[in-house]
Amino acid sequence: MKPTGILFFPAFDWAISPTHPEREERLLYTRDQIFEEGIMDLPQIREYEPGIASHSDVARLHFCIPDVAAQVTEAHLISAGSSLRIADAVMQGEVRNGFAIVRPPGHHSMTVSHGNRGFCNINNEAILVEYLRHKYNIKKVAIVDTDVHHGDGTQEIFWDDPDVLFISFHQDGRTLYPGSGFLDELGGPLAYGTTINLPLRPRTTDTGILYALDELIMPLLDEFKPEIVINSAGQDNHYTDPLADMAFTAQGYAKLNSRLAPDIAVLEGGYSVETALPYINMGLIMAMAGMDYSSLREPDFNPVRFQESSGNLEYIKQMVDRQLNAFRHREEVINANRKKGDDFFKSQRSIFYDTEYISEDQRISLRNCNKCGGFRIIDSSAQHHDGKYYTAYCISVPFWACDGCQQEARSLYADVLRKTPNRQVFLQDRPANQFRCYDVETEKETIL
């Protein structure tokens, strides 16, 4: 059997700030544990060296304002690039699956990036999805977000993409950052039902989470038939996590990963650096490599400590039924939306960047197309903490966009840059793998 690829990049010289949860120490004890176990020496494991994502890998997914260099440090490019490195190893058949244990994380980062949100600047898994499409012509992808926080960035990015099934289970947004991820967030008008959220009550245990896995996530994957399954592998559902309040164990994480059998897992959050991460990471590696993890446990593990209440299990059951139903009726809803929609579906929203105190307003238009999921325009303006103001008109053409959408998007770009009140106009032309940015003031265009 082929080995499991592991790419361990703990970024021991990078932190958001010295005492921030995203600091050098975060993967130190994970390093100690997996090196002491000698896991990289095993024939079942192949260790990979970090990669570096290019600016065009980032621009394929994000609109970085004002440019990629402003939004990423070398650490971000290595974290994203390492996810791509592991993806290459999987796609080229060197390994059967792969786990990028990397930081900084990315799942709160959205399409337009004005700064750091929820410890994230750029979205590793989403960059990975567009890379898989560009390099390997992949169409259907499933992302299962197992972080305790709602993967709001990833959700927003694939909100209008009918070929990405995004499933997130998380602690209920009424009790935890970022306050989203409710049952009725099911995707955009032409991609309805391929965003699935499962907000769980605080202190949900292994039993509850594995029930959701078996009864909701696995059936969804069976029916959606993705070419690739990605685990957005946060580790903060653990019972010792300081930022959340769930009761998941290392055994639970290991079981989840052996049943989910993701092709690629990428580390997201998880801030119980001593009492959870070393053991969860071991569990994930062993599960992905098909090894017996039955003797793995946390030092303070007590098998009878967390018992799922029958009330909570019943609550989860109801949510599972409701979400399965929404998914199974998605095409009817999409067809109805197409019929009743105008040329463009319009919406707007405000986004707050907790880490950097940036307030952003977006006006969003999605082309109502009967051949594809449509292309998307985000008209964004953001006020920074220091009073600076940024405006950008962002046109995003999906990799699988129909010819009509591609042409219309390109001519829109040429048209808009002559009359927009915004400072910058972007055209993210994924089918052409060309990422343009026009600066209205300097009249200069940069192409990545």
Distance CA 366, CA 395 (A): 10
357 binds, among other proteins, Zn ion, none (CB under 5 to 8 A by kind): none
Q: Which stretch binds other proteins (CB under 8 A): 180-188, 226-234, 278-286, 307-315?
A: 278-286
Q: Tell me the closest approach of the beta carbon of residue 405 to Zn ion, in angstroms.
A: 3
Distance CA 196, CA 182 (A): 9
- Per CB under 5 A, does 405 bind Zn ion? yes
Question: Which is the catalytic residue, given 107, 108, 114, 150?
Answer: 108
Query: How distant, in Å, are the alpha carbons of 125, 160, 329 from that of 191?
Result: 19, 5, 12
Write out the two tokens for 64: 């970085």
Nearer to other proteins (CB atom), residue 50 or residue 341 = 50
Nearer to Zn ion (CB atom), residue 102 or residue 405 = 405
Could you give the 3-state DSSP secondary structure of residue 424? strand
- Per CB under 5 A, does 149 bind Zn ion? yes
Residues β-bridged to residue 390: 382
Number of helices (H), then strands (E), belonging to the chain: the values are: 13, 17
Q: Please report, as residue ranges, which positions from 38 to 77 form the binding site for other proteins (by CB under 8 A).
A: 38-39, 41-42, 47-50, 52, 73-75
Helices within 94-151 (DSSP H only): 124-136
Among 47, 371, 385, 414, binds Zn ion (CB under 5 A): 371
Nearer to other proteins (CB atom), residue 25 or residue 356 = 25
Distance CA 53, CA 73 (A): 11
Q: Which stretch binds Zn ion (CB under 5 A): 56-64, 305-313, 357-365, 366-374?
A: 366-374
233, 99 contact by CB (below 8 A): yes
Tell me the number of residues near other proteins by CB under 8 A: 45
Q: Please report, as residue ranges, which positions from 217 to 256 form the binding site for Zn ion (by CB under 5 A).
A: 234, 236
Query: Could you give the string, one character per residue 295-314, with x where binding to other proteins holds by CB under 8 A and - elsewhere?
Result: xxx-x---------------
DSSP characters over 338-379 = HHH--SEEEEEEEEEETTTTEEEEEEEEEE--SSSS--EEEE
Q: Please report, as residue ranges, which positions from 245 to 274 form the binding site for other proteins (by CB under 8 A).
A: 274
Distance CA 290, CA 1 (A): 10
Among 32, 214, 331, 415, binds other proteins (CB under 8 A): 32
Q: Which stretch binds other proteins (CB under 8 A): 7-15, 155-163, 179-187, 253-261?
A: 7-15
Looking at residue 125, what DSSP letter applies? Answer: H
Among 1, 13, 310, 339, binds other proteins (CB under 8 A): 13
Distance CA 162, CA 391 (A): 28
313 binds, among other proteins, Zn ion, none (CB under 5 to 8 A by kind): none
Side-chain-side CA neighbours of residue 392 (13 Å): 24
269 binds, among other proteins, Zn ion, none (CB under 5 to 8 A by kind): Zn ion
DSSP characters over 64-78 = ESS-HHHH--HHHHH
- Per CB under 8 A, does 36 bind other proteins? yes
36 binds, among Zn ion, other proteins, none (CB under 5 to 8 A by kind): other proteins
Q: State yes or no: is 108 an active-site residue.
A: yes
Q: Please report, as residue ranges, which positions from 255 to 274 form the binding site for Zn ion (by CB under 5 A).
A: 269
Distance CA 382, CA 172 (A): 28
29 binds, among Zn ion, other proteins, none (CB under 5 to 8 A by kind): other proteins
Q: Tell me the closest approach of the beta carbon of residue 97 to other proteins, in angstroms.
A: 19
Nearer to other proteins (CB atom), residue 8 or residue 239 = 8
Give the number of other Cβ atoms within 10 Å of residue 19's Cβ. 8
Long-range contacts of 417-425 (CB under 8 A, 24+ apart): 420/393, 421/391, 422/379, 422/381, 422/391, 422/392, 422/393, 423/66, 423/390, 423/391, 423/392, 424/65, 424/66, 424/390, 424/391, 424/392, 424/393, 425/392, 425/393, 425/394, 425/395
Binding site for other proteins (CB under 8 A): 8-14, 18-19, 23-25, 28-29, 31-33, 35-39, 41-42, 47-50, 52, 73-75, 78, 274, 278, 282, 286, 291-297, 299
Binding site for Zn ion (CB under 5 A): 147, 149, 234, 236, 269, 369, 371-372, 402, 405
* Catalytic center residues: 108
